[in-house]
Amino acid sequence: MSSVPGPAPPWRNDLRAALTRSRVRFDVPLKPFTTLRVGGAADALVELESDDELARLFEVIARHDLPWTVLGKGSNLLVPDAGVRGVVLRLGRAYATVTPGAAIHTLHAGAAVPNAQFVERCRRDGLGGLEFLIAIPGSIGGAVAMNAGAHQGETADALVSVCYFQWGLGIATAPAGDFAFAYRSSQLRAPLGRIVLSAVFRLQPVDESTSRARITQFQTYRRETQPRDFPNCGSVFKNPAGDFAARLIERAGLKGRMLGGAQVSEKHANFIVNRGNATAADILELIALIRETLLRETGVTLELELQQLVGTRLAGSSGSHIVPGAVSAP
């Protein structure tokens, strides 16, 4: 005897009614949306297409006390095997444009713009300084929020201002200096309910051949030093002061170590790869092994760069608020 599904929870109907331009889906597997290709389903996945609908979405979230979080390009991100409760929101095509800024040598980029696309736009416009982003999978929103960087460069180096949404305050724009940017962190990552919508960058005039050479250099470095054969999330750990996480992990004899379907990359020890059937639990167990081993043998506590995608409620903290994802090269 087959069971008959019960009525949909009221919040699902309210989401559909409130968001007429945005795409709303329920019980969506998130594996295809992440570079690690692991994890369960989202109760709801919303792809937003306007600021008005962003505000209406949060009215529904507040009314039903729903957990929520943000998903960008899905890099530097681990989705739990049990999935994500509440609403996972993504910024759609309306937030994926690049336009000239008001001042000379500036560009305004939406948070959903892929890093590689932004770098190519800079090159075409004769602007340089952020070429390293070509080797960092992710989107501008994540690059800004986590201050993504590589090769002695950081996103905040060129950042002028950030436009963001915060429940209760609405949409605001503030100078980069307001967000306490540091190594792979900023107050945009703190659990304050902020969502990066766009950013303005001040870049350096550069001839196209020089910019192209830099881009090629960073692409070659990534290809030669980082795993490409298996799904991965990029750097798992932040580099400790004065050292490299990959060097410490390799020195501890953990390069190539496997647990379930997860493996410390044989090419770069600060990467964990999915050999095809890894679970989030496998990856977390391997992370714990690495951290415990290094703490015991070296006294170093490795800090995670990888983030777990979980929801948070507006009036509390059932989890960590994650902004659109990005990864960091060493």
Which residues carry out catalysis? Answer: 184, 235, 305
Measure the CA angle with vertex 290, ends 318 and 37; round to 5°: 60
Q: What is the CA radius of gyration of the chain?
A: 20
Longest dimension (CA), the chain: 71
Measure the CA angle with vertex 60, ends 56 and 65; round to 5°: 145
Tokens of 59: 């009215």
SS3 235: coil
Three-class DSSP labels, the chain: CCCCCCCCCHHHHHHHHHCCCCEEEEEEECHHHCCCCCCCEEEEEEEECCHHHHHHHHHHHHHHCCCEEECCCCCCEECCCCCEEEEEEEECHHHCCEEECCCCCEEEEECCCEHHHHHHHHHHCCEECCHHHHHCCEEHHHHHHCCCEECCEEHHHHEEEEEEEECCCEEEEEEHHHHCCECCECCCCCCCCEEEEEEEEECEECCHHHHHHHHHHHHHHHHHHCCCCCCECCCCECCCCCCCHHHHHHHCCCCCCEECCEEECCCCCCCEEECCCCCHHHHHHHHHHHHHHHHHHHCCCCCECCEECCCECCCCCCCCCCCCCECCCC
Beta bridge partners of 133: none
